[in-house]
Amino acid sequence: MDSTSQVSQVNAPLNYLVRTGDRPYSYQYEPPPGVPMRHGQYVAQTVPVRDGRPILDTLSLDRNGFELRTHLSGVTDFRDDNAVRGAYYPEIEQLVKDATGAARVLVFDHNVRLGTADRPDGIREPVKRVHNDYTETSGPQRVRDLLGEEAEALLKHRYAFINVWRPIREPVLAAPLAVCDAQTIVPEDFIASDLRYRDRTGETYAVAYNPRHRWYYFPKMRRSEVLFLKCFDSASDGRARYTAHTAFEDPTTTPDAPPRESIETRTIAFFAPD
């Protein structure tokens, strides 16, 4: 019997990009007059999203592209940028190092997300489009952007971008995060998409629908839980390289559920030569 056959699930709409032949883009600032903020047609596909908790022991970053871990943080206010950078960053660097065996881990960015239209500056809404944060092009370029003269030596060996996602209000009831098993994705499902900033253009992957995709989520996540997502791996030896993910509307969420609040920390794990 399939090991996932007893896993409970919800049927939920996930927003996939429609293939049109045009390159999608999204402005990260107010675009020029007459230019739309985004280009790209998305369509909702209703898919089963399985509860990943019953199969926690079978999940791994290198096979599935994601895993759930327990971690107690010393930070109490994740909206305090100084506390996040001064205390939380070192915690996450050590956590990722312990989880992956990396020789070095760099935390370089974070996003606090709040699922309401009334948000203070710097707070972003959950992203409700299936995507992956880095591409074959933007992964190595991000290393160069961040590490300058060190980059070329580091790029000669394996490295991986791993995001660490944590609720900062518990439990998560609205707009939970869904993750796609990397074993069920093929390279052709990914569509390069531009992120246009004032000073540069980044690149992410949008994702086209494929009925083979197998989706999971972890219901009612708590502050003591962190979800690891591998968003890029330089190794092309058969292990998971990308993890498509999206916030989604859980049909079991009640109207009075509080908005989701979370922090996503972006890291690069650098591995020693074999």
Question: Where does the pLDDT of residue 127 fall: very low under 50, low under 70, confident under 90, or very high at 90 and above?
Answer: confident
Higher-scoring residue by pLDDT: 85, 4: 85
Whether the pLDDT of residue 230 is over 50: the answer is yes
Is the backbone peptide bond immediately before 171 cis, with ω within 30 degrees of 0? Answer: yes
Strands in 159-167's sheet, in edge-to-edge order, are 66-70, 225-233, 159-167, 261-270, 104-114, 123-124
Within a domain: 24: yes
Q: Do the domain assignments include residue 17? A: yes
Residue 165 lies in a domain: yes
pLDDT of residue 116: 60
In a domain, 217, yes or no: yes
pLDDT at 115: 67
Pull the structure tokens for residue 259.
């908005």
Q: Is 3 within a domain? A: no
Surface-to-core class of residue 264, CB atoms within 10 Å of its CB (0-12 exposed, 13-18 middle, 19+ buried):
buried
pTM: 0.92
Q: 164: domain range?
A: 9-270
Query: Residue 208 domain-assigned?
Result: yes
118 band by pLDDT with thresholds 50, 70 and 90: very low
Q: Does some domain include residue 248?
A: yes
Closest by CA position to 169, among listed 94, 116, 122: 116
Domain count of the fold of the chain = 1
Instruction: Give the contacts of 184 (CB within 8 A, at least 6 positions apart).
Output: 210, 212, 213, 214
Residue 2 lies in a domain: no
pLDDT digits (tens, 9 = 90+) for 171-224: 999 999 999 999 999 999 999 999 999 998 999 999 999 999 999 999 999 999
